[in-house]
């Protein structure tokens, strides 16, 4: 039994996202990443925003994974 080689596949229409729509999300996630980078990399000791060692302990493994100096 021969199969027909002329099968058609429907290509879904891709609508591009405009830069105006994307910009607020890019800014939001950029700021969020900077805050996370701050907490992983610099939240410790005299410059810490949140007192104590709680945040440092939560991000301690991530700090070592990213290569920030710790101890």
Nearer to Zn ion, 12 or 67 (CB): 67
User: How many other CB atoms are found less than 10 A from the CB of residue 40?
Assistant: 20
Of 47, 46, 41, 48, the residue nearest 64 (C-alpha): 41
Number of residues that bind Zn ion (CB under 5 A): 2
Binding piece for Zn ion, criterion CB under 5 A, among 9-17, 30-38, 41-49, 63-71: 63-71
Q: Decide if residue 70 touches Zn ion (CB under 5 A).
A: yes
Binding site for Zn ion (CB under 5 A): 70-71
């Amino acid at each position: 039994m021969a199969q027909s080689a002329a099968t058609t596949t429907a290509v879904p229409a891709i609508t591009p996202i405009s830069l105006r729509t994307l910009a607020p999300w890019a800014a939001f996630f950029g700021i969020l990443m900077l805050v996370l980078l701050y907490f992983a990399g610099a939240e410790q000791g005299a410059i810490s925003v949140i007192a104590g060692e709680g945040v440092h302990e939560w991000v301690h493994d991530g700090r070592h994974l990213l290569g920030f100096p710790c101890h």
